[in-house]
Amino acid sequence: MKKFILRDRDLSLYSKILIVCLWIALSRIIDNEIILPTVTSTINGLGKIISNPEFLNILGYSILRSLFGFIISLSIAIVMGVLSRFSKFIYNLMVPVVKFLSSTPTIAIIILALIWLSNEIVPLFVGFIMVFPILYETVLKSILNIDNKILEMARVYNVNKIDVLKEIYLPSIFIGLSNILSSAMGINLKMVIAGEVLSQPKYAIGTNLQIQKIYLNTPGVFAWIIIILAIGKFFEYIMKGLVLCIRSKRYISPMEN
């Protein structure tokens, strides 16, 4: 099993090296910084972006927007998921909402958001419309998958409803969410940045991407992409660490530890 995991990592490393080699080769063949910048000019662009005194502000605001938006989406998904389980009315109310959010082209909703909302709120909203349906459906599915026999046991033993929620529902929701949490957070980050590109808040990665595009500074665009990938990876590690930490405390037996 371990060998298999290592082999996977090796393959992934080879793939990354191959992409960089391909990039170097193509940029030499094309020889045009606007169409495909070289690795050197991208690194120079990265240096310039990082040395900008406002870099930390830009980075911080985008990360905060992404985190804040994700926490809002997650909280609403959990509350609505639990309510949908217990109320037929709310469940049926949510069906068209989720269908609308999942099937309407995102750009159409973004355009409406640009008309209705302030430019600081639009990125959060864009992230929300993308990840909320995923999170809500996962929460609902996790609740519906709870073993009815365990719930019946709690009922026979007259366990308080709040305790049932805390001790049965929430852990089941967490188990369901733990499988998709890091990918949902990645999607949220991408969508928040897309929202920033369109709504142009003062401090935002998306705003700066747009500026680089206007000046046809492709190395700058590439440099920002590298920064976004790094943030995405950072989020992924944080989420995986968090999930592992909680799981090891709650779900793994002392024998295995």
Partner 1 sequence: MYKVQKIYKSYGELKVLNNIYLEFPKEKTTCILGPSGCGKTTLLNILAGLIPKDSGEIFGFEGDKSYIFQEDRLIPWKTVKENLEFVLKGKMDKNRAQEIIDNYLGLVNLEEYKYYYPKDLSGGMRQRINILRAFIYPSKLIIMDEPFKSLDINNKKILMDFFVDLREKDNKTCIMVTHDIEEAISLGHRIVILSEKPSKVKRILDLENYKDRFKLKEEINRELKNGMIVIPLNINT
Q: Which stretches of the chain bind partner 1, using CB under 8 A?
A: 149-150, 152-160, 163, 167-168, 171, 175, 250-256
Q: Which is nearer to partner 1, 8 or 152 (CB)?
A: 152
Nearer to partner 1, 169 or 235 (CB): 169
Distance CA 87, CA 192 (A): 32
Q: How far is the CB of 246 from partner 1 (least distance, A)?
A: 11
The distance of closest approach from Cβ of residue 154 to partner 1 in the complex, given in angstroms and rounded to an integer, is 8
Residue among 13 and 150 whose Cβ is closer to partner 1: 150
Whichever of 121 and 159 has its CB closer to partner 1, that residue is 159
Closest listed residue to residue 205, CA positions, set 219, 186, 184, 220:
220
> Count of residues for the chain?
257
Of 43 and 243, which has the nearer Cβ to partner 1? 243
Q: How far apart are CA 73 and CA 137, in angstroms?
A: 12
**Residue 152: CB minimum distance to partner 1, A:** 6
Question: By C-alpha distance, which of 199, 220, 236 is closest to 43?
Answer: 220
At closest approach, how far in Å is the CB of 46 from partner 1? 44
CA 68 – CA 124 distance, rounded (Å):
8
For 38, the 3-state DSSP assignment is coil
Kindly state the helix (H) or strand (E) to which residue 203 belongs, with its residue range. none
- Given CA atoms 34, 35, 38, 44 in this order, what sign does their dihedral have? positive
